[in-house]
């Protein structure tokens, strides 16, 4: 068998060591970086990924449903700039997405069992002869605008990065922050769907990013709101 560079690269990526893992450890609000795990729910699996989309761990990472009561909720306004820091950087190829789910009571007590809608995604920066180039590559933080259309209320802000370095076996790096939104909007976010967000067999999750070299990428999950 001819052992090509592409084959070698794919093999190396599939056995990447644990130090290549990461998580989202702090909330950013209007360029202010908050303290680690003050407004972000603390997980209990270090920097390891979640791999089962049907697991409750897929909502806010392992331990994330148990740490809401010890996590503070940040007061924000619709239209504010939000974001997350990465510990230490995103080292696996794949997209980033941010979802919101409105709490039925307080964000601290919310288990994420309601509907979720996607407000932000960071996918490919370009597609070249070498394949998909990811805008999230090696970033240590990112920010986005909380849409002005988001109604008032308390929310979980769920960030995920989908690592695609092992074809057919995506890894999900997940964190949830807690916010309380002030807004004049009465809009209804749509599409909004309950967990699990994915079936697990979407092309955006199972794609082989090495061979044949992809010429396009379609993110998994619902469309962005507002569109």
The residue with tokens 């893992």 is 21
Rounded CA separation 209/165 (Å): 7
- DSSP characters for 129-195? TTEEEETTTT-SEEEEEPPTTPPSEEEEEEEEEEE-SSTT--EEEEEEEEEEEE-------SS-BPS
C-beta atoms surrounding 142 within 10 Å: 21
CATH 2.30.30.240 fits 5-206, yes or no: no
The structural domains of the chain, with segments of one domain joined by +, span: 5-206
Rounded CA separation 76/146 (Å): 9
Whether the Cβ atoms of residue 172 and residue 195 lie closer than 8 Å to each other: no
In order along its 227 residues, the chain shows pLDDT tens digits of: 333 333 434 444 444 444 589 999 999 999 999 999 999 999 999 999 999 999 999 999 999 999 999 999 999 999 999 999 999 999 999 999 999 999 999 999 999 999 999 999 999 999 999 999 999 999 999 999 999 999 999 999 999 999 999 999 999 999 999 999 999 999 999 999 999 999 999 999 999 999 999 999 999 999 999 99
Whether the Cβ atoms of residue 124 and residue 171 lie closer than 8 Å to each other: no
The residue with tokens 């939104």 is 181
Q: For residue 125, which phi and psi values (nearest 5 degrees)?
A: -85, -30
> Going by C-beta distance under 8 Å and a sequence separation of 6 or more, which residues neighbour residue 50?
57, 58, 61, 62, 171, 172, 173, 174
Q: For residue 101, which phi and psi values (nearest 5 degrees)?
A: -140, 125
Return the biggest CA–CA distance within the chain. Answer: 63
C-beta atoms surrounding 75 within 10 Å: 12
Q: pTM of the full predicted structure?
A: 0.92
Rounded CA separation 178/157 (Å): 6
């Amino acid at each position: 068998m001819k052992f090509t560079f592409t084959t070698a690269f794919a093999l190396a990526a599939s056995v990447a060591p644990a130090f290549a893992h990461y998580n989202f450890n702090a909330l950013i609000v209007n360029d202010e970086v908050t303290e680690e795990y003050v407004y972000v729910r603390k997980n209990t699996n270090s920097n390891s990924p979640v791999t089962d989309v049907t697991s409750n761990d897929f909502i806010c990472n392992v331990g994330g449903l148990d740490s809401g009561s010890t996590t503070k909720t940040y007061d924000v306004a619709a239209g504010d700039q939000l974001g997350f820091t990465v510990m230490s950087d995103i080292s696996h190829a794949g997209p980033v997405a941010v979802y919101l789910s409105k709490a039925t009571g307080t964000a601290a007590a919310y288990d994420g069992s309601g509907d979720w809608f996607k407000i932000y995604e960071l996918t490919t920066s370009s597609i070249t002869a070498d394949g998909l180039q990811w805008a999230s590559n090696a970033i240590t933080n990112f920010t986005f605008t909380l849409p002005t259309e988001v109604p008032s209320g308390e929310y979980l802000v769920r960030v995920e990065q989908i690592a695609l370095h092992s074809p057919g076996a995506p890894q999900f790096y997940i964190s949830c922050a807690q916010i309380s939104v002030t807004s004049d909007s009465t809009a209804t976010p749509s599409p909004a769907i309950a967990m699990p967000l994915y079936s697990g067999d979407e092309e955006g999750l199972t794609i082989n990013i090495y061979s044949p070299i992809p010429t396009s990428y379609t993110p998994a999950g619902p469309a962005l709101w507002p569109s």
